[in-house]
Amino acid sequence: METKFIKRIVLILSLTFAGLLFIAAFPLTNYFGDAEEETKTIASADSLPDKHMQKEFNVKFGGRLTIDLRTGGMIEIEGWDKEVVDAQVTIEGSDAEDVQLELEQNGNDVEIISFYDGDMENGYHANTNIVVKIPNKYDIDFSTMGGGVKLDNLNGELSGRTMGGELNLSHLRGMLNVSTMGGNITVKDCEVDGEVQTMGGEVRVENVTGDLNAKTMGGKVKQVNVKSKKGNEGDEVNISTMGGDIEVDEAMNGTKVRTMGGDITVNKAAKFVDAETYGGDIKIYSIDGSVSAETKGGDVSVNMAGDPNEGDHFVYITSFGGDIVLSVPSGLSMDIDIEIAFTKDKWRKNGDVKIISDFDIAQKTTDEWDDSKGSSRKYLRGKGEINGGKHKIKIRTINGNVTLKKS
């Protein structure tokens, strides 16, 4: 019995001694201390203080500010009445220390550049924000790899681009040429000529005087209270979009609008309207001039206004699948040529198409089905000369009705 007890004591002491040797060889801090240190490192990286730089440059009116944010970031430029460029730059993020800034003056011009000077193998995490005040008569040229841009109270040549942010432009004068690859554009309370363009957003132009073209590849375009400069005949309003609606509030020097997939609305225009859509309706509420309107898949409604004895009032309207309504002054001199093609399958389903006219025109339907254009079709044609036949009125549609009214 005593021998067994002694053996147990020896075994316990041996195991205890072995455990102490194990702990001595592998300290617990190797297991828990490193994890704690790593947590502190991550926290330290995330809590790095922002980099901030402020610099002033004494300049004269008429210089140029160039901004090139190769790191991406937000840009805000505001004009003031001082001959001073005041630049405030803030860099945020865990890699802020690796972002390099250059703020330099060359004569009357100022240049701001940001670039990344670290290891980019795993990308970088930094965001550059620039707020600059410049003389309100000063040119600008900006570029950022990804961020919004705000311009306010500037007069000069204003150009630039962002790879992925919104453009908010207000109280500008001069020549404007800006673009974004993926954001909305707002132009408000400006007197500018030029062009704004976005690859994937909406464009709104409001209270603008000047000849400004708006383009978008995938959004709606709306113009409200856009006029040419006083004392200048100006250019027409040009708008194009690949996938959205277009609304023009006023275009007194004419308008040319194109959309690949939306409706077109023109509230008031003069001289001419040239409108084309591949997938929507066209509505022209008032046009004192000529009209060319074409849709591949919608209805067309046009109301002609103004003195019928002044200017050109020819009309060319085409729809490949909708109704057409045209309202004209009763005194307009017209040579009317209307043709409705109706296919056999639609005729069997919907019955005869119609020309409804407030004017005296001759109507006739062809007797035989025409197979030369793929689907079998007949034609309802309406012709007539009204008040001397000066202005050509040509209307074409397929499987739709045509209404010609006195306005």
Q: What is this structure's pTM?
A: 0.76
- Are 393 and 334 in contact by the 8 Å Cβ rule? The answer is yes
CA angle, corner 138, sides to 136 and 144, nearest 5? 105
Task: Quickly count helices (H) and strands (E) in the chain.
Answer: 3, 29
pLDDT of res. 170: 98
Give the strand pairing for 84-92 and 127-135: antiparallel
Phi, psi angle pair for 126, to nearest 5°? -155, 150
- What average pLDDT score do residues 248-268 get? 91
- Are 77 and 134 in contact by the 8 Å Cβ rule? The answer is yes
pLDDT of res. 91: 87
Per-residue pLDDT tens over the stretch 17-65: 444 443 344 343 333 344 333 322 222 223 345 678 899 999 999 999 9
pLDDT band at 234 (very low <50, low <70, confident <90, very high): low
Q: Which residue has the tokens 């040239």?
A: 274
Q: Which residue has the tokens 């550049």?
A: 113
Per-residue pLDDT tens over the stretch 125-165: 777 899 999 999 999 999 998 899 999 999 999 999 999 89
Phi, psi angle pair for 76, to nearest 5°? -130, 120
- Are 401 and 338 in contact by the 8 Å Cβ rule? The answer is no
CA angle, corner 175, sides to 171 and 176, nearest 5? 70
% pLDDT > 70, the chain: 83
- Whether 343 shows a pLDDT value over 70: the answer reads yes
- Whether 120 shows a pLDDT value over 50: the answer reads yes
